[in-house]
Amino acid sequence: MNGDWLIRGRDGRLSVYLPTNDAVLCRAELGPGGPWEPPRRVGGDQKLRPGPAVGQGADAYAHLAAWRPTKLGEAGLVHTTQFRPRLAALDWASIGHPDKTGDRTGTPAVAVDVRGRGHVFVRNGSGGVSMRMQKEKGGWDPWRDLKGHDVQGRLAAVTGESGRVELYAAAAGTVLHWRQEELAAVPTLVGEREILVRPDTLHALATSPDATTLFYANDAGDLCAWRSGSEPVTLLPSAGPGPVSAIRCELDGHDCTLLAQRSASGRVAFAAYPTERESAGAWWTESGPQLPADAVVGLALDEEERVVAATVSPSTGQLLVTRRKDEPGLALEAWRKT
């Protein structure tokens, strides 16, 4: 999944979204902190193409977007909303193609603004980015070409504390940054920074009322952080080759950013530092069993604002979950199969 696939619903229950070759499955807690239900197919019986995306708004509703085959050699994007983890999602609804017709052009990304409107972004056939936004009273605005060039890999969409949507994309030798200047406005390309980024390593996080932070791996394999208007900062060497997950949480009374990544050794590595104070330094601490090579890590906060980490392996479908203990630091419970 592109986006935060481990989320907390309005009822406090956690859920995970698990892509398969032709569908998205959802698993949810039967009760906060309790056992998990079996996987359920999301959005009906339509067959999907690989690479779905998920985003969540302040109302805790989950918005998902994916490609589905339409006819030989062509595909179109579809969207669904799931209002609560244990309720069935709406059926997948077509939202078209950024170039009107054609095959899949890239992995979509989803963000949800403060008013609950989904924004679906995707690379278009010209190498830039296009977006389609929900209307507040139903339906969708037309596809908008946001420009850009040479976009590579997955996009990183995020909603800032202001409720405005932002987007980051890796391009040839640069990072592109789009931002809404006001609510419901079409995002504009506000910055282009010369950074050598490994595609498919971008993760964006809201870190203050005025800023979002982009995490990415550079060409040397270091994990870096960048905020528009400032210099990129090298945090520490990447723990492994896969994507990083990040959330903000309170650790020992401090507002911290917590990072998690599958390490080169196959375990989960965690690192934390005071939010937006990258100069304080961070270091990895490994936890849990060895995982399959395709395992990814997700982070969330449960209804008690405790850190929850989960790993899932697409090849095995195995889901492991741990929670922070009620003690100082980042001590975790034993990892549990669900």
pLDDT tens-digit map of 159-180:
999 999 999 999 999 999 999 9
Together in a domain, 216 and 255: no
**Residue 268 β-bridge partners:** 262, 287
Q: Which residues contact 24 (CB under 8 A, 6 or more apart)?
A: 1, 17, 18, 41, 42, 43, 48, 52, 64, 66
Q: Is residue 232 part of a domain?
A: yes
Structure tokens at 192: 């282009």
Q: Is residue 212 part of a domain?
A: yes
Together in a domain, 204 and 297: no
Q: Is residue 160 part of a domain?
A: yes
Using the structure block, give the residue that is written with the tokens 């209804």. 303
Determine the Cα–Cα distance for residues 308 and 235; give it in Å rounded to an integer: 23
Together in a domain, 267 and 216: no
Together in a domain, 174 and 291: no
Over residues 22-38, the pLDDT tens digits come to 999 999 999 888 899 99
Q: Residue 211: its pLDDT value, please?
A: 96
Together in a domain, 111 and 234: yes
Percent of the chain with pLDDT over 70: 100
Determine the Cα–Cα distance for residues 201 and 289; give it in Å rounded to an integer: 23
Q: Is residue 85 part of a domain?
A: no
Q: Residue 33: its pLDDT value, please?
A: 82
Q: Residue 9: its pLDDT value, please?
A: 94
Together in a domain, 198 and 301: no
Q: Is residue 3 part of a domain?
A: no
Q: Is residue 73 part of a domain?
A: no
Q: Residue 322: its pLDDT value, please?
A: 97
Q: Last residue of some domain: 210, 238, 266?
A: 238
Determine the Cα–Cα distance for residues 53 and 62; give it in Å rounded to an integer: 10
Together in a domain, 117 and 233: yes
With a cut of 50, which residues of the chain have pLDDT below it?
none
The three-state secondary structure class of 2 is strand
Q: Is 25 exposed, middle or buried (0-12, 13-18, 19+ CB in 10 A)?
A: middle
Structure tokens at 136: 């507040």
For residue 21, the Cα-to-chain-centroid distance in whole angstroms is: 19
Q: Is residue 179 part of a domain?
A: yes
What pTM did the predictor assign? 0.96
Angle at 77 between CA 121 and CA 23, to 5 degrees: 110
Over residues 52-75, the pLDDT tens digits come to 999 999 999 999 999 999 999 999
Structure tokens at 68: 């589905």
Together in a domain, 156 and 230: yes
> Is 194 within 8 Å of 148 (Cβ atoms)?
no
Together in a domain, 250 and 233: no
Q: Last residue of some domain: 215, 238, 261?
A: 238
Q: Last residue of some domain: 198, 220, 238?
A: 238
For 209-223, b where at least 16 C-beta lie within 10 A, e where not — what string?
eebbbbbbbbeeeeb
Q: Is residue 5 part of a domain?
A: no
- State the total domains in the chain: 2
Instruction: Name the region of 120 (left: φ>0; alpha: ψ -120 to 50; beta: rest).
Output: beta
Name the residue type at position 217.
Answer: A
CATH code for position 220: 2.120.10.10
Together in a domain, 133 and 175: yes
Virtual CA dihedral for 55, 83, 303, 294, nearest 10 degrees?
Answer: -40
Helices and strands per DSSP (H, E), number in the chain:
0, 28
Range of the domain at 136: 105-238
Q: Which residues contact 287 (CB under 8 A, 6 or more apart)?
A: 267, 268, 269, 270, 309, 322, 332, 335
